[in-house]
Chains A and B, each alone.
Chain A
Amino acid sequence: MEMSPKRGANILIWAVLLTMPYWINWIGGYTSLGSRVMVLALAAMSLNFLLGFTGVLSFGHAAYFGLGVYGMGLTIKYLVPSTVAGTAVGVVAGAAAAAVIGLLIVRLRGIYFAMATIAFGQVFYFIAYRWNTVTGGDDGLSGWHRQPIDLGFAAWDILGSDRAFYYWVLVCFAGATGIMAALLHSPFGRTLLAIRENERRARFLGIPVDRHIWLSWMISCFFVSLAGTLYALLNNFADPHDLRWDQSGDFVIMAVLGGMRAFWGPLIGAAIFVVLQDYVSSQTQNWMSFIGLFFVLVVVFFPRGVLGILHRPSSR
């Protein structure tokens, strides 16, 4: 059987991700950096489900990411010391908020939609920022840490070992991206592509466009809040800036940088962005200018992204 390039790329990506903790130190990284890449890649890929495959621009995904972060932190700190329970609370909080806000904005299109997502995203930031007694306000929510996962027959010590935690992230990442890939290959996913390519035509074919966009938005926000729960575990901390608009912008630039028409694009984008940010912020006080300049350069010189350029011949 001949192996297609796509299949080969998939095998390569999974091989890299599965073995990363064993070689990342040799190339100057560290295991938590690998976990960070995976977590933010999951967030960017979730955003890209909406952005790249439904053609809807959201600039406010940090809100649902942040709800995952705070869902996890607050659960472990105040309710039950359990990572699994925290994950459940985080994704339910993110999805519930997305459901309500989605209903309000699903009829808007284009820039108007983007602006509404930006503005609504800020509500949760202000709640986290102002509700000192519960969320810790500007100082963030600390005084808790991730909990080992009870498998019944053994405990998975994600607290004691960075490597064990990396594999917990990988399990969540694999589950989430597997579901998203399956959805995109289903008739539902094809319908989303049809909406992206020509919304008016899709509507004339009898597709309930608003409902599909709402569903795509929900799926996207659900997985971005899952990424949020992982981010909370990674830092053992919840920071109000995790749900601010600059975080949303980071997700969008990761998707664009990697190539938003390719399934794995945001993963590549996240890897480049995270490594660069890690390096620049350790070198200079003015990392904000560098990140800003990076945004400008990507937009001006690199709008199709890494995988977009590689795919150019077959993209039509």
Chain B
Amino acid sequence: MTQLILFNLFNGLIIGAFYALMALGLSLILNLSGVINFAHGGFLAIGAYLAYTLTPYVGFWGALAIAPFLTAVLGLIVERVLIRRLYGRDPLYSLLLTFGLAFILEDGTRYIWGPQTLPFSVPDWLSSPLSSQFFFLTGYRLFMVGLVVAAVAALFLILSRTRLGMRIRAGTLDLETVSTLGVNVRVLRTLNFGLGIYLAGLAGVLAAGMLGLQPTIGSALIMPSFVAIIVGGLGSLPGTLLGGLLIGVTAGVTTVFVPSASEAVIYVMMGLVLLVRPRGLLGEEGRF
């Protein structure tokens, strides 16, 4: 029993890290541009499939390095052509637009790579269990956790130490003032969007190694990311990270006791958080 709980706890932590990675990208875009990017899951799927296509040529590590980057480039194009028009308009329109994009991306992946589940191979030494007693501790899972930690650390470093990060944080608080100070807000928003989509692509490669490839991989992961953002508090990136980990662990532990409720339980949790603390765990009062 202890082992079962430990297994699901660990599993939940991995899933949670994953939700957090995806939700952080969503949060970045939401905070600076006020756009809920419904197509985030679609970009995740693109990242995953690109990695699949690239692996035979450049290997797993090459794919891990290149696929998220290519996904981000696609994101930049989409931002410049479509999403840019909708800044400052009613959020209704960007929601509808990204909603349509989500359809196109999901159907596009199905069209290009086919509807069936594809296997995605990770290096052998990563996929074998490390210990016979704790069979669930495969190298790949540990590697995933490590990579998510590294990615999150890098993101927070970029945001706190670089000029770009400083501008993104300032723009999140008061875009107008940042613009008056001579920062090109259009470019800032585009780069920020690209950064968010890069995280989605990275999450996609990791998801491919763990869950296998399906065109619906993105739409299955996007709802928990929304929940993670709300639980953690809109406007707060550390909150989003915390929210992702929390709902992952909650879902994992619930799997032990009531497997069929493992999806619904995170929404119950969101309801409780909104009841007690409508701004979310680490959200600022009065921002949204």
Contact = CB atoms under 8 A, between A and B. Distances in A.
A296 B111 contact: no
A302 B97 CA distance: 12
Nearest to B223: A122
B34 interface: yes
Given A57-B91, A104-B274, A126-B263, A112 B288 contact: yes
- Max chain A C-beta neighbours (<10 A), residue from B92, B93, B275: B92
B288 A104 contact: no
Contacts of A105: 274
Interface string B76-101: 00000010011001111101110111
Given A291-B103, A300-B97, A303-B93, A116 B264 contact: no
Given A109-B288, A110-B91, A289-B104, A120 B96 contact: no
B229 to A, nearest CB: 7
Interface of A: 51, 57, 59, 101, 104-105, 107-112, 114-116, 118-120, 122-123, 126-127, 130-131, 245-246, 249, 252-253, 256, 286, 288-289, 291-296, 298-300, 303
A289 B288 contact: no
A145 to B, nearest CB: 28
Nearest to A113: B288
B230 A115 contact: yes
Contacts of A115: 36, 226, 229-230, 234
Contacts of B111: 286, 289
Given A108-B278, A115-B229, A286 B107 contact: yes
B30 interface: yes
Contact of B97 (A51, A112, A295): A295
B274 A256 contact: no
A157 B143 CA distance: 64
B63 interface: no
B113 interface: no
Given A253-B96, A295-B99, A289 B267 contact: no
B260 interface: yes
Contact of A111 (B34, B107, B108, B278): B34
Given A114-B36, A299-B86, A131 B260 contact: yes
